[in-house]
Structure 1
Amino acid sequence: MTSTTTHTGTDGRVTVRISDPGELIAAVPHLLSFRPGPSVVLLNHAGAKERRILPVIRADLPDESFEPDAVRELVRRLLRHPGAGVTVVIIGCRPGHRAPPGEVPHKQLAGLLVRALDDVGRPVDHALWVPEIRAGVPWRCYLDDCPPGVLPDDRDTVMAAAMATRGWVTYDSREEMSRLLDPDDPAAIERRQRMLDAAVDRLAEAPAPEAIAAAMGHFGAEESAAHLSVVRAALARAEAGDLDLSDEDVVSLAMALSNLEVRDRCLRTAEPPGEPASNAAERLWLELVRRTPPPERAEPAVLLGYSAYRRGDCVLAGLAFDNALTARPGHRLAELLDLCLDRQIPPAALSRLSHPNGGAPMANTP
């Protein structure tokens, strides 16, 4: 019997339907964008018919004395989203945990979650345990409503192929994912810092009102038009697969994105989420995060985070907002979006930032 099927809609979107619990567990790394270590994961089934999974909520396995508090926090986060049911997946064991012979590890935690979710009207479809997410690893069910099984190779599933087709990458760990944002070359960063300092000094030599406005991220119409032109050219190159940025490219883009009007218009490049044009823009923002010195790095970092948030990759979004706040402490947009992420605001609710006046977002350019 086929337990995983795909359907390609008229808009080109691929829908993956999974009915086997083992394949649902194998989908977790792709849904999170990284392979989790010991964790408790809630898969929220957002619709009664389609059972679309949104969001995926993950937390480290808590110590036994903190399990009730951890359950309350997980349920609180889940209830920020509409849903018709939940799948609970517990991965691995916390250090020192020993399950009684014949019992599934962390049975108490699973029971607390099942009862708490049932109390708030979110029935648990499956409650599953697996020691790790690797091919051939056996999994078990806490509710005994399905026989145990063995995980498929998550890298060879239909889900993996669908994600790869969309250009999404699954990393072996959260740490590997976080290294994506590391600077590309310290010597190059220093070189570009000197170039940026010289460019900022030239701005400071402008007449006082213009210099003060530029320091606050506000520029005149002529400068804004020039900055938009720089960004549009880089986006067009990124969509063509060209992310080879010279020092001059990085500096000119950093200066363009320091124009808050231009930076805010670049939020539109996240629409529609996960499509080729918005994926290309996200790759450009990532390259700029890696290549741009602080504090200017904060602007591409917040754009990267926003794009990741809009397409549902909340882990990358959080890493990007942290990066922005490290580069420029007190960055207002990064603080706002990080607060939205912390409070589990649904990604769709952010679309007003992309087109705040209610009109349709621009296709692939700010």
Structure 2
Amino acid sequence: MTANGRIGDDGVDDPRTVVISSPEELIASIPSMLGFPPGPGSVVVICGRTADGHAGPVVRMDVGLLGGPGSPPGEGDGRDGADGRGGADGWGGAEDCRSGEGEPSPVVADDGPARGLARFCSREGVTDVHLVVVHEDCADGHSAGLRAEDAAAAFEYWLGLAGTQVVGAYGVGEFAHGSPWVDLFGMVRGTQVDPDSTEIAAVHAFDGRVRAGSRAEIERLYQVRDHGACDDDPHGRGPARLEGALEVDRAVRAHEDAERRLEDGEELDDDELAGIGRVLLDIAVRDEVYRRLAHRGLCDRDGRRLLWWSLARRRPGRERSVALLLLGAAAYFAGSGVHARSALEAAVAADPANSLARLLLHGLENGLAPERLRRVAAA
């Protein structure tokens, strides 16, 4: 199979693809695909190409499909399919999907996410997927292996009704060099290669994408505040408004000047940061910064990233919310669903009136692909 790279600076798919030619490499690539290693109780689905030729999402579900002790409950996160909608930690989402009457299905603890994923694959024209079930001892233990097989069978059944083929299904207890894996639909087994040695890991390292230790670690990243951060909003609750296009252009240029200074190693004092945060509350300024982000995504030491992190960590709620929105949009454009969701949810928590953050979250939950969003945003 092939895995997608990143979106190019012109808003179209980067032609780079990563070819995965063995189960060992597929399994070892998952932590880099998601941005963190999924823990026990997860079902990871690597979707093939969609009907329009784009790479499908990498979906992680953590909903207790495996049953028994040690299976964590759902996280209440549509990204992970906890409520039956399915969801993607790469990008995408799915709605509930019902079977035809009289068609028996495998019995598992909860096959709602499998049905939801089938609905998504049908809608997007995904013709094939690979599954990896993460469950303790499933590669060696008999009962754990049977539970993993049941979970994989539920996905195969519902996806088959949607016309999507499960090309391979594998079971692992963890993601680590030398750990065992097993083919859940066959007699093949083996040991894993080093997750840090895969081609996808190398591509992501080159692009400055750092793999976290867990999903919770990523969520905490967007909740952190600096010591001494300003928490009192000095602007009141009304919308900020600049007078005319010239004022908006001047504010956008000031934002870009701050970006360049940060890239050059300079620092912004609190007054300068407050000025940048204030003008970003103007919808016209925010929308222009957002549009330019869609045209040119972030790189590792991008001054925009440094500026938005400073605003998110040091400024009060509404300014913090806009900065988190922009960080979440950048992650969404790059195809990093878990970072996008974490940032956008933090943006809504900081300012429930942030309608653009809510809109992007809705797109994330309903499977709006990054390249589609980026083209709309760049228009």
Structure-2-length-normalised TM-score: 0.77
Preserved CA contact (<8 Å) 1:288 1:297? yes
Higher RCO (CA-CA < 8 Å; seq separation 6+): 2
* CA deviation string 1:104-133 (max 9, x = no partner): 542111111112112211111111111011
Preserved CA contact (<8 Å) 2:134 2:174? yes
What one-letter code is carried by the residue in structure 2 that aligns with 1:84?
Answer: T
Preserved CA contact (<8 Å) 1:42 1:57? yes
Preserved CA contact (<8 Å) 1:305 1:320? yes
Partner of 1:235: 259
What one-letter code is carried by the residue in structure 1 that aligns with 2:62?
Answer: D
Alignment pair present for 1:114 and 2:156: yes
Preserved CA contact (<8 Å) 1:42 1:89? yes
| Identical counterparts, % of pairs | 29
Preserved CA contact (<8 Å) 2:121 2:159? no
Alignment pair present for 1:45 and 2:48: yes
Preserved CA contact (<8 Å) 1:67 1:109? no
Match of 1:148 among 189, 204, 218: 189
Distance change in 2, residues 1:229/1:274 (3 Å): closer
Partner SS for 1:219: coil
Q: Show the 5 A alignment for 1:277-296.
A: 280-296=303-319
Distance change in 2, residues 1:27/1:269 (3 Å): farther
Partner of 1:19: 21
For 1:6 and 1:229, the matched residues in 2 are separated by: 34
Distance change in 2, residues 1:317/1:273 (3 Å): farther
Partner of 2:247: 223
Q: Show the 5 A alignment for 1:73-88.
A: 73-88=116-131
Structure-1-length-normalised TM-score: 0.79
* CA deviation string 1:276-305 (max 9, x = no partner): 399653443233222222122111111111
Distance change in 2, residues 1:153/1:241 (3 Å): farther
* CA deviation string 1:185-218 (max 9, x = no partner): 232335xx4xx62xx38xxxxxxxxxxxx93233
Partner of 1:126: 168
Preserved CA contact (<8 Å) 2:240 2:278? no
* CA deviation string 1:338-361 (max 9, x = no partner): 1111111111221244233xxxxx
For residue 307 of structure 1, report the CA deviation from its aligned partner: 1.2
Partner SS for 1:297: helix
Partner of 2:113: 70
For residue 80 of structure 1, report the CA deviation from its aligned partner: 4.3
For 1:49 and 1:335, the matched residues in 2 are separated by: 26
Partner SS for 2:124: coil
CA RMSD of aligned residues (A): 3.3
For residue 46 of structure 1, report the CA deviation from its aligned partner: 0.9
Partner of 2:206: 165
For residue 258 of structure 1, report the CA deviation from its aligned partner: 0.6
Preserved CA contact (<8 Å) 2:321 2:351? yes
* CA deviation string 1:229-261 (max 9, x = no partner): 2211123235x3647443123211111211110
For 2:212 and 2:3, the matched residues in 1 are separated by: 24
Preserved CA contact (<8 Å) 1:91 1:129? yes
Alignment pair present for 1:176 and 2:199: no
Preserved CA contact (<8 Å) 1:4 1:158? no
Partner of 1:324: 347
Partner of 2:60: 58
Partner of 1:260: 283
Q: Which runs of 5+ in 2 are unaligned?
A: 68-107
For residue 42 of structure 1, report the CA deviation from its aligned partner: 0.9
Partner SS for 1:24: helix
For residue 326 of structure 1, report the CA deviation from its aligned partner: 0.9
For 1:14 and 1:167, the matched residues in 2 are separated by: 16
Alignment pair present for 1:304 and 2:306: no
For 1:14 and 1:43, the matched residues in 2 are separated by: 18
For 1:5 and 1:76, the matched residues in 2 are separated by: 22
Distance change in 2, residues 1:277/1:68 (3 Å): closer
Preserved CA contact (<8 Å) 1:87 1:127? yes
Relative to structure 2, which stretch is displaced further, 57-66 or 107-116?
Answer: 57-66
Higher share of residues assigned helix: 1
Partner SS for 1:185: coil
For residue 266 of structure 1, report the CA deviation from its aligned partner: 1.1
Preserved CA contact (<8 Å) 1:43 1:55? yes
Preserved CA contact (<8 Å) 1:99 1:106? no
For residue 89 of structure 1, report the CA deviation from its aligned partner: 1.0
Distance change in 2, residues 1:161/1:220 (3 Å): same
Preserved CA contact (<8 Å) 1:80 1:345? no
Partner of 1:341: 364
For 1:88 and 1:273, the matched residues in 2 are separated by: 33
Preserved CA contact (<8 Å) 1:273 1:311? no
Preserved CA contact (<8 Å) 1:217 1:258? yes
